[in-house]
Structure 1
Amino acid sequence: MPRILRLIKIKDVVTLFGSFFAIISIIMSITGFSSGDEFYYVLACMFIFFSITTDTLDGWIARKFNQGGNDLGVEIDSLSDCIAFVAAPAILMFCAYGGGFMFIAAGIFTMCGVLRLAWFNIEDTTEGYIGIVTPITASTLLAYFLTNYFYDQILIYGNEQIKQFYLPFHPFHLFLTNQWTVSIIMLLLGLSNLADFLRYDKRVRKKRGLWKYYIIIAGVSVIIMIILMNVAAYTYNNTLWAIIYIIVDIWSYCAFYACLAYIVWGFITWYRLRDE
């Protein structure tokens, strides 16, 4: 057996599965771009949620079985996060909204994410940390995409009453899906990874894992909705399909603003502690 395999622990195997899911997500994004079928982007989001799940699970295993402290595991975790929470979301957004300034925005988002992960490895986080962690920026982009995607689907499959309710929001929706708007959002999120004016104290650090659990629950909800969508498609029940789309769209909308609230929270904490 190769020596490196003898150094790998159970938690490291779980982390590696996060990398596996991230690569599948990237493949789904590229497939969606080449085929023109946007549903592949939803699958890409789903596999990133799987990566978030493994990122949470490996930490739990490390604590449960006292497997922390190995240098190899630290490097594997950091590299896996880079693929899952930096590269995969950047490629997803570029494929879904590609064009214009997007290739530069995706590149800068990736650079900031890599810097964030490297910085996190050497930063003393016992009293908290500054900047947004990469799972949050990734989740913000996923929620942003899903909100816009399911809005479009509601207009396609909803009845006239539903469409009349959603149509007044259409100009704002067009603004949100504009390549330049998406590019600016990606740039701001990328820079937020490194922002000194976003600070989270040790109380937030202790509760940071809760955010991942919330994301996992949300991800499982999306997966259930995807299954129900396929059931609706199989039975040709457009009303059921529209209802499911509305539920997921509302969830995505709430998730997006929850991530924004987390960012605002960081700014408030920085402002409160700036003189310390």
Structure 2
Amino acid sequence: MKNVLSIAGSDSCGGAGIQADLKTFSALGTYGMTVITAVTAQNTTGVFQVRELDGDMVQAQINCLFEDIAVSAVKIGMVSSIEVIAAIADCLRKHKAGNIVVDPVMVSKSGCHLLRPESKNALIQNLFPLATVVTPNLFEAEVITGDKIDGIAAMEKAALKIHELGAGNVIVKGGHLTGDAIDVVFDGKKLDHLKGKRIFTPNTHGTGCTFSSAIAAYLAKGYGAAEAIRKAKEYIHIAIANSLPLGHGAGPTHHFYELYRKAGVVAVR
């Protein structure tokens, strides 16, 4: 079994962040480990409070894992401060980590800013050059590139610009556009479109976290970046299609749908 590490924030309602990553790693047959960068108080209706950990504690978590356990892939999610970003980059370089997926988490669905504005450049300069895959959504791609993204052509342009910032592979997610859910992938040589039928549901809490952690799990299992991205899109499609109507806001995706189906449980209410 391959071991996959998530470096991200904690989500108290279990639909996103560290909790979503661990569920995804388990569902895809890998062993999940965590480095917590922040603790959030949130539920399906929003994020109400964020408490960050300091760089020393983040660094200590990373070092103790790499010194003891083989890490086959790393997913990086919510990292808010310049201090924490620098600590992560230093540790990953020190331990020669590979198969790194960076999900540039900036704003929650409820509008809470999870990346400090002054930290954007640190995120790009320190973590993108280490990344095998970077997975921005449309809003994040706009912030990174400074360009308005309103269609496929603009997504393609953004993917090329983000690749120039150091990322090995870039997938600009088109979930916030209308029509079919089309993502644009650029591997440094060619552009590709990943098409999927749009699923109309309000329960999409944690989709970005789940998708990026699925890519990391497949990379850990030996798939190349293109195939890992494709298989991760298949996984998140099923998770969204069977999402859970939990709480009074945006419910979570169903990470363990196949396992629950075998057990005769199809929904949690």
The alignment's TM-score, normalised by the length of structure 1, stands at 0.29
- The structure having more radius of gyration, on CA atoms, is 1
Q: Relative contact order: is structure 1 or structure 2 higher (C-alpha 8 Å, sep ≥ 6)?
A: 1
The structure with the greater share of residues assigned to strand is 2
The structure whose residues are more often helix, as a share, is 1
